Structure 1
């Protein structure tokens, strides 16, 4: 569950979020925020404030893992937290200052891309080891991957990436992110349910725009579809407390399985590109007929899951 007010307070008269660093910290408005709680009638700005605190905290934690250890989970989990942040900025755009949101999104994507270099290299190395291809700890590939990790760490340290999440929370507390004009204040005060519905509608339409049959998409288009499905999933998860389990459970499970299938296709495509394996005509991208058995099965699964989601339709429109 994402929406929670337990670590959020509001400044009197503004509704602007501030950090609560301990249970003893309290203001006269804290009880009002807690009383509203996560739910369809919660103020939109309270919901965003809680979500931003949670997401920023996760970015901080996972970035520390990457910078301070060899754990392979660091790059992946930091990237997930960053993508959740950019999805939140997109979902709550109607109540956010445009320039501030754009600045935060650009910085998040810069860190995301740097970590992506390490993530792709880790996946490729693991794949080579899994295939018994001699990519052991002392191999050239293992050394190159370790050196890349060190370079990206140094780059992120030089760019002060660790300051990103704390600065975002500071800007929130100082009134630099949420809109402050009369229309903006009115939008912030509205129940978050209406904002949630519009954000999910936009994410759903973005997915439908790719067409009903994923097998007709080339690798680049499938990658874009994968990103749109992540936006749909994370947006729906933000508002998870709103959804009855009988309509949300199956849809959510299908979304997760679809992401797994698309993720496997992406990892296999990255591995093929890094290996320099080419299809007909010297192209690094393959047609459906040139896919390996593993890729073909993953694509078949993805097609089935996407058809299932289309048949289920946008469940949130039926939730009252």
Structure 2
């Protein structure tokens, strides 16, 4: 069975790695939940035609890596598993060309004993491991002890192996419990696996698993929590068709959202909240790009759902940003002033409430449904059914043609909204800020199709302009937050004045760079020409 890795766009140590030239692969979806939910899942499976083995199989696995975790950095896993008296050596890797995050390469062979012998994996796999690890020895890093019950189930036109896993991951003196259910495609279509996972998630309250057993083991061994995940550069072939862009970009954005679940659920990282919302904003921006030329009711439905989730997470992010502004701004400048305490206490209370809402959102089956159904949309290319002949023809256009047309349109829109820049009303400034944001996301989406140097210069210029408008927006947000805190907790005149004055100073300073930044934007090379 697979251990589907949590998507990790933007990981600095895990860039695209060439896959061994072997044909094996696994396609798997994982759901997690507590013991009560897992019991409901077992009952649901029995009621829907699955015949689980009456006795569980004991699986004892040891995961190997170099001391500096070279395999982990390359997004690879090497494991020796003992099943009864047999030993199995398994090598898994993330294929950068995979069309979805649920697919991994896999080679599995019998071993004569508990020590890994990579030569048995075949020449291609063994050479790739040697290339990654060099002369460093492979050492045991952590273990898992699992009791597994398995059944085959028909869903749609596919055969799916279902495994209920219960046990623990162990690293030295530390251990964590494991309660998860895995769906592996034996024969058929991944879409049927996603549909089955949605049904059982809805029925039993299970949540999409965003971490593999190996990822949990590495974190346990290091005693370091998960990190927030930023968007990274995608891999897009210049000769790809436009339709490939749709699947690749939608998949990348939703996986940035999912990749940050562990960072929040396990560590409540403020940056994880921020990056989840960034992923959702990128998703919405991408959907709007495609919806304009390929109208589809499904696009509109997912854009609205992404908007709803991001909005529900907004108060938590607003309080994080406000607290950081106060602590790194006026409080750092005037550390002996005690008037910030009431303001910060009120903001912290609201942040705690906001974090509770974020946790509820991530654990809700509706959010798992949103992610899985969006992946099913991209796999099945469901937008095709809503298009006429002309629309279907556009899907086969070379990707750079669609990208250049889209970037040119967004660039013209931003320039038009920025006319008479210094005299824009607050509403017009907001519209211009949105135009810059949409243009920047599009530039980042399509940059792999063009010169990276000119694309980076373009996005840096946009970032400078966004910083100016961001400072102005921070002032508006700070006024709203301070007013809400004073309504709930009473007047905070001195603290409020210090914070709002600090924001006003920052906005005024940013305004001094506005004309220069706008001039740079008007002159910067359009990398898509």
TM-score (norm 1): 0.77
Distance 1:92 1:217 in 2: 29
Aligned to 2:119: none
- Local SS of the residue matching 2:473: helix
Is 1:270 the equivalent of 2:482?
no
Tell me by how many angstroms 1:251 deviates: 1.9
Is 1:295 the equivalent of 2:507?
yes
Distance 1:155 1:242 in 2: 35
Aligned to 1:118: 316
Tell me by how many angstroms 1:136 deviates: 7.9
Between 108-117 and 255-264, the greater mean CA deviation after superposition: 255-264
Aligned to 2:259: 61
> Over aligned residues, Cα RMSD in angstroms?
3.1
Question: Aligned to 1:211, which of 408, 418, 436?
Answer: 418
Distance 1:219 1:159 in 2: 39
Question: Aligned to 1:128, which of 326, 338, 341?
Answer: 326
Is 1:92 the equivalent of 2:174?
no
User: What's the CA shift string for 1:130-178, capped at 9, x where partnerless?
Assistant: 3225348982331232123213432554472233222200122234234
Distance 1:205 1:40 in 2: 24
Is 1:21 the equivalent of 2:111?
no
* Structure showing greater relative contact order (alpha-carbon pairs closer than 8 Å, 6 or more residues apart): 1
Q: Conserved in 2, the CA contact under 8 Å of 1:82 and 1:108?
A: yes
Aligned to 1:226: 433
Question: Aligned to 2:444, which of 215, 230, 237?
Answer: 237
Distance 2:406 2:418 in 1: 20
Q: Conserved in 1, the CA contact under 8 Å of 2:246 and 2:378?
A: no
Aligned to 1:287: none
Q: List runs of 5+ in structure 2 lacking aligned partners.
A: 1-8, 11-15, 17-94, 108-234, 332-338, 485-502
Q: Conserved in 2, the CA contact under 8 Å of 1:45 and 1:178?
A: no
Q: Conserved in 1, the CA contact under 8 Å of 2:323 and 2:344?
A: no
Give runs of aligned pairs for residues 157-172 of structure 1, distance below 5 A: 157-158=363-364, 160-172=366-378
User: What's the CA shift string for 1:285-317, capped at 9, x where partnerless?
Assistant: xxxxxx83321111222332122111336442x
Distance 1:272 1:137 in 2: 13
Q: List runs of 5+ in structure 1 lacking aligned partners.
A: 10-17, 26-36, 278-290
Is 1:102 the equivalent of 2:300?
yes
Between 135-144 and 158-167, the greater mean CA deviation after superposition: 135-144
Distance 2:403 2:296 in 1: 19
Aligned to 1:286: none
Aligned to 2:96: 6
Is 1:150 the equivalent of 2:356?
yes
Question: Aligned to 1:46, which of 235, 238, 244?
Answer: 244
Question: Aligned to 1:174, which of 370, 380, 387?
Answer: 380
Give runs of aligned pairs for residues 181-196 of structure 1, distance below 5 A: 182-196=389-403
